[in-house]
Structure 1
Amino acid sequence: MLALTRKVGERIVIGDNIVVTLISIKGDNIRLAIEAPKVVKIYRGEIFDAIAAENRQAAVPNDLTELDKLKEMQIKK
């Protein structure tokens, strides 16, 4: 991880096409502007974590009896 100190208006450039600019600081909150190509997905951390958890849950079958039935069908052949 790279940790940088920036002042309002200063930028961080990532690769050739992503620019992060510090817009403002108010108390414990900072405001960032991110310029990136539309194909780059940008999520807040908590949203990304929720999506990843939902994807993991969706990958686990809810009813294992259905899988057992499929296994039995394959064995009978």
Structure 2
Amino acid sequence: MLVLQRKIGQSIYIGEDIKITIQDISSDKVKISIEAPKEVTIVREELKLATMNNLEALSSSGDSVALLKKMFDK
């Protein structure tokens, strides 16, 4: 993991075409801007985790339905 310190207005690049700029810093928040090609998906971590949890719950509920169906078919 790379850890960097930046000041307001300073930027970092990821690869050739993703630019992250520090816009504002308050006591417990940092506001950033991200410039990236349209084909690059940018998602907040909590939304990605929620999506993964929902997909996991969906797939496990399908297994549960199949198991219940087997039980009732006997």
**TM-score, normalization by structure 2:** 0.81
Which segments of structure 1 move beyond 3 Å, counting only runs of 4 or more? none
Q: Which residue of 2 aligns with 1:4?
A: 4
Matches within 5 A, 1:1-77: 1-60=1-60, 61=62, 62-63=64-65, 64-66=67-69, 68=70
CA-atom RMSD in angstroms: 1.6
Gapped regions of structure 1 (runs ≥ 5):
69-77
**TM-score if structure 1 supplies the norm length?**
0.78
Give the number of the structure whose alpha-carbon radius of gyration is greater.
Answer: 1
- Number of residue-to-residue matches in the alignment: 68
**What percentage of aligned pairs have identical amino acids?**
36
